[in-house]
Amino acid sequence: MSRALEIKNLTKTYENGFEALKGIDLVVDKGDFFALLGPNGAGKSTTIGILASLVRKTSGHVSILGHDIDTDFGRAKKLLGLVPQEFNFNIFEPVLEIVANQAGYYGIPRKLAYERAERYLKELRLWDKRFEQARNLSGGLKRRLMIARALVHRPELLILDEPTAGVDIEIRRSMWAFLREINAQGTTIILTTHYLEEAESLCRNIAIIDKGILIENTSMKKLLGKLQTDTYVLDLPAPHEAVSGLSGFSVNQIDSTTLEVEVGKDGDMNQLFSLLNERGINVSSIRTKTNRLEQLFVNLIESNQSDSP
Amino acid sequence: MTYLEQYIALKTIVTKEMLRFMRIWLQTILPPVITTALYFVIFGRLIGPKIGQMQGFNYIDYIVPGLIMMSVITNSYANVVSSFYGSKFQHNIEEMLVSPTPNYIILTGYVSGGVCRGLAVGASVTLVAWFFSDLNFAHTLVIISTVLLTAVLFSLAGLINAIYARSFDDISIVPTFVLTPLTYLGGIFYSIDMLPGFWQNASLANPILYMVNAFRYGFLGITDIPLFTSYCIIIGFIIGLFWFSLHLLNKGYGLRT
């Protein structure tokens, strides 16, 4: 499989001496939906800034679909689309002009630019707002505008830096569906997000960065496989005091109608329900206590912090 | 990028810049026209007749070229400095920086926008001047070339100011404390022959003097400075400022961390 992105020993030290990246190696395959996660200040945005040529690297090599960003930056830039974390369009320009102008910066003729702008604005449900100044859009619409703008030159690698921050769940889910669709059409996507449910739901591979180093780089499946237990919250229709005797399961009773049960990786849920049945305890609903990836993420970051000098 | 793609990118930037200043014409085109009209009324009609003639011309006819040039200088500068700094401030300059558009196209695009506004204001002021004076076009080619080169020069200067600027204060300091004094002391309202020896020589260090005199030569056929010297100075400044602003863009000064 050919590579959409290859990063070798990437370092960045800012003028104030802060080492944002301490030698990152990363490969993203073509067609992948890849999550780049990390806490605030970990180095994600610096990495993305270097790929988009907004941040100058200190050392290392980066190539986008085989084009080195130092020696072949024109081609590398053409293949890359960026949805940045912060809104970075002219708020006084109309929506349609923002998207069509972006196409112009890639050398796309005006007529074709308007055709493509129409297509993406329609797909992202922004067409009705095409003559509105961008400042009049809601937060969710502004995020969608940035996606339309990033796609107008048809990049093969799309980087989204927290694209759904501050967006309500309905719009977020429609954006997920859209991103899945363009990924299915062949666009490689790298996503950073603080909504780990989003990364778990969308991405096939994942890298976690902390304090400028890569602390995990694997497939989502393998990473989630590392979880030893899952914690489930059980809601009971009738109150029960001091539930005990569920051998093989660790039970934490939150209140008379709520139980938290830890189930090991090899745990048998049927056995859990049998034990509850034997005690006459009915369950009205069940849910996982935390997002699984979130739990792993926290474990990894905490472990990295305790390892640090 | 191919040459055609570069041309499309340039056209996009220039069109965007032109639409920007035309959309807000009440702030960009009208005020300088009104200000200059007031100059014509006060210095030309009210005070002018009392001053009499300057180098054989009515005072109002003498100051018209300088006043047109002043509006071109301030507006070409103001357009680029405010537009480029505004793009930096809102971060929408990143739209161009992430694209394959070469830096010299970005530079040329912004400078062209500044030139367009400078010329639009210059043309409007010239139309107003027609009401107050008998406009004479002694050397049309000199008029066109001088106004064009001057607009380019001050657009480049505005770009450099915007690149260095870190706040909105920084984009008003240079026009207020450098550009305006140099313009007023650049021989718009008087001939440097009227100045004492020391100040005559000191005036020669003011680049605006060369532009105003070359422009006045285009209208009236008179100048304090040899035309060749004026062209050399203007073109020399343009080359120097173009190289410097391109160097800053290539280095990413104030744009890339």
Residue B256 lies in a domain: no
Tell me the per-residue pLDDT of B201-217, one tens digit each, with 9 for 90 and over: 888 888 888 998 899 99
Strands A67-68 and A80-83: unpaired
Dist. CA B173–CA B180, nearest whole Å: 10
Contact A54 B98 (CB under 8 A): yes
Residue B257 lies in a domain: no
Taking alpha carbons only, the member of B230, B216, B204, B218 closest to residue B70 is: B216
Tell me the per-residue pLDDT of A106-129, one tens digit each, with 9 for 90 and over: 999 999 999 999 999 998 888 999
Residues 24 to 63 of A: which have CB under 8 A from any B CB? 49, 52-56
Domain tally for chain B?
Answer: 1
Query: Mutate which of B7, B10, B12, B27 to disrupt the A interface (most A C-beta within 10 Å)?
Result: B12
Residue B200 lies in a domain: yes
Structure tokens at A115: 């055709």
Dist. CA A178–CA A72, nearest whole Å: 31
Dist. CA B195–CA A37, nearest whole Å: 70
Tell me the per-residue pLDDT of A123-149, one tens digit each, with 9 for 90 and over: 888 899 999 999 999 888 898 899 999
Tell which phi-psi region holds residue A67, choosing left (phi > 0), alpha (psi between -120 and 50) or beta. beta
Helix axes B3-23, B59-90, angle to 10 degrees: 110
Strands A258-264 and A229-235: antiparallel
- Domain of residue B79: give its range: 3-251
Check if A94 contacts B (Cβ < 8 Å). Answer: no
Q: A156 pLDDT exceeds 90? A: yes
Please report, rounded to a whole number, the percentage of residues in chain B having pLDDT higher than 90. 49
Residues 196 to 215 of A: which have CB under 8 A from any B CB? none
Dist. CA A276–CA A274, nearest whole Å: 5
Residue B134 lies in a domain: yes
Residue B233 lies in a domain: yes
Contact A107 B94 (CB under 8 A): no
Contact A110 B87 (CB under 8 A): no
Handedness of CA A94, A100, A104, A106 (dihedral sign): positive
Tell me the per-residue pLDDT of B96-140, one tens digit each, with 9 for 90 and over: 999 999 999 999 999 999 999 999 999 999 998 888 888 888 899
The complex scores an ipTM of: 0.85
Q: Which residue has the higher pLDDT, A194 or B86?
A: B86
CB atoms within 10 A of CB A168: 11
Comparing CB atoms, the residue among B9, B94, B102 nearest residue A104 is B9
Residue B21 lies in a domain: yes
Q: Which residue has the tokens 């102008």?
A: A101
Which residues does residue A11 pair with via DSSP β-bridges, in sequence order? Answer: A22, A59
Taking alpha carbons only, the member of A295, A271, A274, A273 closest to residue A286 is: A273
Residue B59 lies in a domain: yes
B50, B216 Cβ separation under 8 angstroms: no
Chain A nearest CA to B192, separation (Å): 45
Mark out the alpha helices in chain A (DSSP H runs): 44-51, 73-78, 95-105, 110-123, 139-151, 169-184, 196-202, 220-225, 269-278, 292-307
Contact B91 A88 (CB under 8 A): yes
Between CA A162 and CA A99, with CA A145 as vertex, the angle to 5 degrees is 130
Check if A122 contacts B (Cβ < 8 Å). Answer: no
